Amino acid sequence: MSQAVSTYEGWYVYHDFRKIDWNKWKSINPSEREQMIQELLETIQKWSSVENNRKGSFGQYAILGHKADLLFVHLRPTIDELNEVKLQFDKLDFADVTSTPYSFTSVVELSSYTIPPGTDPFSDPAFRERLEPILPKTQYVCFYPMNKRRLGDDNWYMLSVEERRKMMKSHGMIGRSYAGRVRQIITGAIGFDDWEWGVSLFSDDPLTFKKLVTEMRFDEVSARFGEFGPFYVGCRLTSDGLTSLLSD
């Protein structure tokens, strides 16, 4: 048996993708719609306020394409709180005009491949910030789930820790060459969801997602072992942005 990788976990994360039933929404009279938007904005205000005392983080995005219209991302110290925010949304009148075409439950994860043995990462404030991250306020987000392949000679989970570390080092070097242009949050989902990781990327230039993901495809760890789920790309929404998205 190969040695399992040790991981460090931080905040739990819920990616809540929502699709709006526009016919239903437009059939509601304007003053009722106005009230539903107000109720939604108040809840969002409550969700955002967790960032003030570092009790979590929240982001909202408009998603392109047919797969979803909105994405709400919640980070919280416990999975119980994630369940609470999910229910808070579902109890809003606005929820009645939405459906959930996709969601992803995971936890912020750092693996030990590139952490020198013997270091205590929890005593390092920079490390803590990576485990309990405030979502970057960039204009664009990209999300996709992924696995590491287990097929014949390409079985990630049968490799020695040294082989895996070597490949992850090369992966990290490519990632670092994008420093300042993209931020990534890797979340582990083994035991929580249908894929092993969620990849959340943040940038002020959407082309950076394409360039980075392309470059990684040519790197051994992604080329041989990466299996990818659906990709979502979106634009960050302010409360005003959300209001105008929902207005005529």
Which residues are annotated binding-site positions? 130, 144-148, 171, 184, 222
Q: Are strands 226-228 and 140-148 parallel, antiparallel or unpaired?
A: antiparallel
Of 26 and 217, which has the nearer Cβ to ligand 76R? 217
Q: Is 232 a catalytic residue?
A: no
CA–CA distance, 145 with 76 (Å, rounded to integer):
20
In angstroms, what is the minimal distance from the CB of 202 to ligand 76R? 10
Q: Which is nearer to ligand 76R, 30 or 172 (CB)?
A: 172
Of 186, 192, 227, 245, the residue at the interface with ligand 76R (CB under 6 A) is 186
> Distance of alpha carbon 222 from its chain centroid, rounded?
19
The nearest distance, CB 129 to ligand 76R, in angstroms, is 11
Under rule CB under 6 A, residue 111 binds ligand 76R: yes
Nearer to ligand 76R, 21 or 124 (CB): 124
- Which listed residue (40, 70, 216, 237) binds ligand 76R by CB under 6 A? 216
CA distances from 159 to 2, 3, 150 (A): 6, 9, 10
CA distances from 248 to 9, 27, 39, 84 (A): 43, 12, 18, 31
Q: How many CB atoms lie within 10 A of CB 95?
A: 16
How far is the C-alpha of 90 from the C-alpha of 105, rounded, in Å? 17
Structure tokens at 232: 């979502």
According to the binding rule CB under 6 A, does residue 8 interact with ligand 76R?
Answer: no
Within residues 194-213, the interface with ligand 76R by CB under 6 A covers: 197, 199, 212-213
Best CA proximity match to 94, nearest among 168, 35, 155: 35
Residues identified as active-site: 144
| Chain residues that interact with ligand 76R, rule: CB under 6 A | 5, 111, 113-114, 146, 148, 168, 171-172, 175-176, 178-179, 182, 184, 186, 197, 199, 212-213, 216-217, 222, 226
